[in-house]
Structure 1
Amino acid sequence: MTGEKAETSKKCEDAVDVDSPYYVHPSDYPKQMQVNDILNDNNFNKWKQEMTNFLYAKNKIGLVNGSIQKPESTSPMYMAWMRVDSMVKGWLTTTMEKDIRNRIKYANTAAEIWKELEERFEKEGAPCA
Structure 2
Amino acid sequence: MAGDKPTGSGKETSGETTDVNSPYYIHPSDYPKQMQVNDVLNDHNNNKWKQEMTNFLLAKNKMGLVDGTIEKPGAESPIYLAWVRADAMIKGWLTTAMEREIRTSVRYAKTSSEIWRDLEERFEKEGAP
- TM bin, normalised by shorter chain, reads 0.7 to 0.9
Higher helix share: 1
What do residues 59-115 of structure 1 show as CA deviations (whole Å, max 9, x unaligned)? 000111101100000101000000000000000000000000111112100000000
Of residues 86, 89, 92 in structure 1, which corresponds to 2:88?
Answer: 86
1:26 aligned onto 2:37: no
Instruction: Name 2:45's counterpart in structure 1.
Output: 43
TM-score, normalised to structure 1's length?
Answer: 0.85
Overall identity of the aligned pairs, in %: 69
Instruction: Name 2:115's counterpart in structure 1.
Output: 113
Q: How many residues matched?
A: 116
RMSD: 1.5
Of residues 83, 87, 104 in structure 1, which corresponds to 2:106?
Answer: 104
In structure 2, how many angstroms separate the alpha carbons of the residues matched to 1:21 and 1:62? 8
In structure 1, how many angstroms separate the alpha carbons of the residues matched to 2:47 and 2:79? 33
What do residues 13-60 of structure 1 show as CA deviations (whole Å, max 9, x unaligned)? 565211000110000000000000000000000000000000000000
In structure 2, how many angstroms separate the alpha carbons of the residues matched to 1:15 and 1:59? 13
User: Which protein has the larger Cα radius of gyration, Structure 1 or Structure 2?
Assistant: 1
TM-score, normalised to structure 2's length?
Answer: 0.85
